[in-house]
Structure 1
Amino acid sequence: MVFSRSMTMASKDDADALALLGLLLVVNGRVKNKKKREKWCKDWLLKRRNYSHINLLNELRFEPKDFKNYLRMDEKTYLKLLSMVAPLITKKNTVMRSCISPHQRLAVTLRFLATGRSYEDMKYSSVISPQALGKIIPETCAALYKVLCKEYLKFPKSQEEWKEISQLFEERWNFPHCLGAIDGKHIDIIPPAESGSEFFNYKGRHSMVLLGIVNAKYQFILADFGTNGRISDGGVLQNTKFFEMLNKGELHIPSEERVKESARNLPYVFVADDAFALRTDMIKPFRQADLTSQEKRIFNYRLSRARRIVENAFGILASRFRIFHTQINVEPENIVKIVMAAVVLHNFLIQHSPRSYAPQECVHQENTVDGSIITYGYNPLNSNMENLEQRNPGNINDTAKNVRVNFMHYFCREGRVPWQNNFIV
C-alpha cells in the first residue's frame, strides 16, 4: 500500500495533537488530585523561640559538665567554633519569616552528631522541621569542614613535618621513623534505593569506609571517606590520592637514616595491620602462624603499640559522636559531609579541649609491671577492617620483608624497652 506525502504529514500532526491532549489530561488530573496543604507551618514549630533546646543551652551554661556532655565541648570552645563557622551559615530574614540563626544551626548539628538521632526525632528538641534539618545539618557540616580542614587536618608537605611526626612517635611509643598509623573503619549506612549490593561488606552490613592516618597525638593527618564497603581492604587504600602519590614518590618522605643511639639505618614507614600489604614504606605484623620466635612476637608487640593509636582515634571519634553507632540514613553525598565534619571536629577538640574530649580513660594504658593492658571504654575490635587471621599473605617483596626484619632486630637489641618481654606469650 502506498501513502501520499500529505497523508503521512497529516497522520503525524494528528499523533502530535493526541499526545498533547493526553499530556494536558494527565497534568490536569494531577492538579485536581493534588492534596492541598492544610497550613503553611505547624503552630508549635512557629514557637521555636519558646520551646527550642537553645533555651536549655542557656541554662546549661551554669552547669559546665552538662554543657560539655550536650555538645561535646565546653562553652568557650563552642563560642570559638561558632565565630569561625557563622559567616558561612548566616541567612537573611525575609518578609515571610525570620531565618534560623547560626547559633541554632550549629547547636542542632552538633547535637545530631553527638546523638545520631533521626531528623524526625530531632525536630522535637530543636523545633525545626525535618525538611529544614535535612538542609541545615549537611550545610553546616560542609561549613565546619571548610573552616577547619586547613588548620586542623594538615597533611605533611615537607620532610621536616614528617620528621616532627616521627619524633613524637619515638618519644611516646618507642617506634622510630614512624610516619603515622593507618587503618580503616566501616561506617554503617542505610543504602540508597536501588543500590543493590554496592555498599554490602564482608561483615554482612551496608557501609562506606573511612580510611585514616593518625599521628602520635590521636589526630588525623589524613582522612579519606566515600569508598563503598564492598571494596576489598587493599582496594580502599589504592583508591586514595595518598596511595597514588606514595607510589610516585611525591610525598616528600625522608630517606633512610640512622636511628638515634644506634648504628642501624632504617627507612621511614607507616604502620598498619594485616589488612594491608607489606611494603618498604608500610610495615605490618607477622601472621600468627609465623610467630615461631620470641623476636617476632616482640616485633608484633612493638608494632601494635604504635599501630593501635589509629584504633584509639576511631574509638574516641565514635564514643564522642554517637552518629557512628547508628546506620546513617541520609544520601551518600551528605554522609560524606557528616563524617568529614566529625573528623575535623575530632582534631579541633583534641587540640582545644583534650582533657574533656579525649581523657586517658578513652585509650589503652599499659601496666609495665605485670604486662597487662588496661582497657576502658573502647574496644579496638570494632574498627578493624578485617580479621588479622584471615588474610592471605600473597606475594611479598623481599625488600619489604628485609625492612620488617631490620625493625625487628632493632626492637630486640639496641632499641629494646625494659618491659617488652612482659607483653609477649
Structure 2
Amino acid sequence: PFLQRRNEETNRFGEEIKVDPLSGFKNFTRISCEDFELLVNAFSPHIAKQDTNYRKCVPVSIRLAITLRYLATGDYFASLMYLFKVSKELIARIVPETCKGLISVLKENIKMPKTAEEWMLIERQFEKHWNFPHCIGAMDGKHIVIQAPNNTGSDFFNYKGDFSIVLLALVDANYKFTYIDVGCKGRISDGDDAFALDMNLMKPYPGQHDKRSKERIFNYRLSRARRIVENVFGILSAVFRVLRKPMLLAPEKAQLITLTCCYLHNFLMTQKSSLQLYTSPGIFDTENRITHSAIDGSWRRDAPMANLLPLRNIGRIPTGDAKDIREELANYFQTDIGMVPWQETLA
C-alpha cells in the first residue's frame, strides 16, 4: 500500500505539471511548472535510477519535488515522508543526491566575469542603477547554523555560541550572485574582519557625523549600493526557508543545501516563467520615485532569521591608501558630477 500511494503521488504531480499551471504547484515547490520540467529533463541523466525486481525506483520528478519542497520549507524528513509516501531514510539520500545533480546542471548560472568588458558591464550597471562608481559587486557573509558536528571540537563554534559554516557572497547590480563560497568553519571566520576597509573594498566612515556632512553622504551612498546584497540574502531565505532554521545536517550536507539554494536563485532570476513567482511585487526594497526614500521589501517583515547570522565585525586599522580612496570617493560625491539631488535630504 505504501508503494501504491507513492505511485499515486507520482501520477498526481505529473498531471498537475502538465494540466494545471495555475494550481498550487508553484507555491508548493517555489518554481513554475515549465521550469520544473526543464530541470527534470536536464538532470535526469545525473540522478535517474533503475527499477529492480523488488521495487520501483522513485521517479526523477518526485526526487526533484521532494528536494524543492525541503528547500522551500525546511520540513523534517519525517513530514516529507507522509507527504510523498517515501521513507525518511530514502529522503535523506534523495535530497543530497538531487542537490548534487542540480549544482552540476546549474553550474554555469554563477560565474565570475572573465574579461575586462564583463567587469565593466557590472560597473556600469552599479553606476546606472545605484549611482556608485567603480563598483563591481556588493559583498556580505553569513553564518549558516548547523547541528554540532561529530568529533570536530570547537572548529565550527562561532562567536554567537552556535555551530556554523560560512556563506560568503558577491552579487552584481541585478541581484544575482557572481561568486559564492560555502563551507568555511564558523570559528575561522571570527579570527579576522572579513570586510575591513581596503583599497578595493569600501566601508562606511565609523562613528556619528553631522547631517549633510561629507562622511554621512558617503555612508548613505555606500549603504544604498550595499542594500543589493542584503536583499539577495533576504529573498533567498524568504523563498528557501530551509535557510531560516538550524540545519540538522552534517557540514558537508549543509554546504550542499546552501549551494543549491544559491544556484537556484540565479536560475530563477533568469527564467521568465518563474521570475514573477520568485520575485513577487514588493519583495525587494524599492525607492519612492519622487523622494528616493527607501521602502522596505516584504522580506524584511518576516521574523528575524535565526539561521543566517551576520559575521562578527572586528575592527582593524586600515592602510593610508585605503582611507585615501574612500576620501576621494566622498569628495567626488560632493561635486556636481558625482552628487545626486536627494542625497543631502536623506543622508
TM-score w.r.t. length of structure 1: 0.74
2:333 is aligned to 411
- For 1:20, the equivalent position in structure 2 comes to none
Question: Could you tell me how far 1:354 is from its partner in structure 2?
Answer: 2.2
1:423 aligns with 2:342: no
1:131-142 pair list within 5 angstroms: 131-142=89-100
The letter for the 2-side match of 1:376 is: G
The 1:163/1:233 distance shift into structure 2, 3 A limit, reads farther
Consecutive unaligned residues in structure 1, runs of 5 or more: 1-42, 238-275
Deviations 1:227-270 (A, max 9, x none): 12222357585xxxxxxxxxxxxxxxxxxxxxxxxxxxxxxxxx
Distance in structure 1 (CA, Å) of the matches to 2:74 and 2:198: 38
Q: Quick check: 1:397 aligned with 2:319?
A: yes
Larger RCO: Structure 1 or Structure 2 (Cα < 8 Å, ≥ 6 residues apart)?
A: 2
In structure 2, the residue corresponding to 1:64 is in which secondary structure? coil
The structural deviation recorded for 1:385 is 2.1
- Residue matched to 2:88: 130
Q: 1:155 to 1:236 in 2, by over 3 A?
A: farther
- Residue pair 1:53, 1:125 contacting (<8 A) in 2 also: no
Distance in 2 between residues matched to 1:403 and 1:281, nearest whole Å: 9
Deviation at 1:395, TM superposition (A): 2.0
Say which SS state the counterpart of residue 230 (structure 2) adopts.
Answer: helix
Partner of 1:182: 139
One of 284, 293, 296 as aligned partner of 1:363:
284
Match of 1:73 in 2: 31
What is the aligned partner in structure 1 of residue 269 from structure 2?
350
Q: Distance in 2 between matches of 1:127 and 1:412?
A: 63
Residue of structure 2 in register with 1:191 after alignment: 148
- Is 1:105 the counterpart of 2:63 in the alignment? yes
Cα deviation for residue 78 of structure 1 reads 1.2
Return closer, same or farther for 1:234/1:405 CA change in 2, 3 Å cut-off: farther
Counterpart amino acid of residue 77 in structure 1: D
Do the aligned partners of 1:369 and 1:419 also contact (CA within 8 Å) in 2? no
Q: For structure 1, which segment, 340-349 or 366-375, has the greater mean C-alpha deviation from structure 2 after superposition?
A: 366-375
- Aligned mate of 2:298, from 358, 364, 377: 377
* Structure 1 residue 120 corresponds to structure 2 residue 78: yes
Residue range with higher mean Cα deviation, 179-188 or 354-363:
354-363
Contact map agreement 1:278 1:400 (CA 8 A) in 2:
yes
Counterparts of 1:106 and 1:94, CA distance in 2: 21
1:33 corresponding residue in structure 2? none
- After superposing the two structures, state which structure 1 stretch, 363-372 or 140-149, moved more: 363-372
**Which amino acid in the other structure matches residue 378 of structure 1?**
W
CA RMSD of aligned residues (A): 2.3
Q: Distance in 2 between matches of 1:403 and 1:65?
A: 53
Residue equivalent to 1:248: none
C-alpha offsets along residues 203-242 of structure 1, whole Å, 9 cap, x if unaligned? 23222111000001111011100012222357585xxxxx
Q: Which amino acid aligns with 1:125?
A: L
Amino acid at match of 1:199: F
Q: Shift of residue 195 of structure 1?
A: 3.4
Q: 2:119 aligns with which of 150, 162, 175?
A: 162
- Measured against aligned partners, the alpha-carbon deviations of 1:342-371 in whole angstroms (never above 9, x if no partner) come to 110000001103222113411111225456
Q: Name the CA shift for 1:182/1:54 in 2 (closer, same or farther; >3 Å).
A: farther
Worse-superposed segment, 370-379 or 172-181: 370-379
1:191 partner SS: coil
* Aligned positions of 1:32-71 closer than 5 A: 43-45=1-3, 47-50=5-8, 52=9, 55=12, 58-59=15-16, 61-62=19-20, 64=22, 66-71=24-29
Q: Deviations for 1:3-60, whole angstroms, at most 9, x for unmatched residues?
A: xxxxxxxxxxxxxxxxxxxxxxxxxxxxxxxxxxxxxxxx42453113x376256347
* Contact kept? 2:99, 2:256, Cα under 8 Å: yes
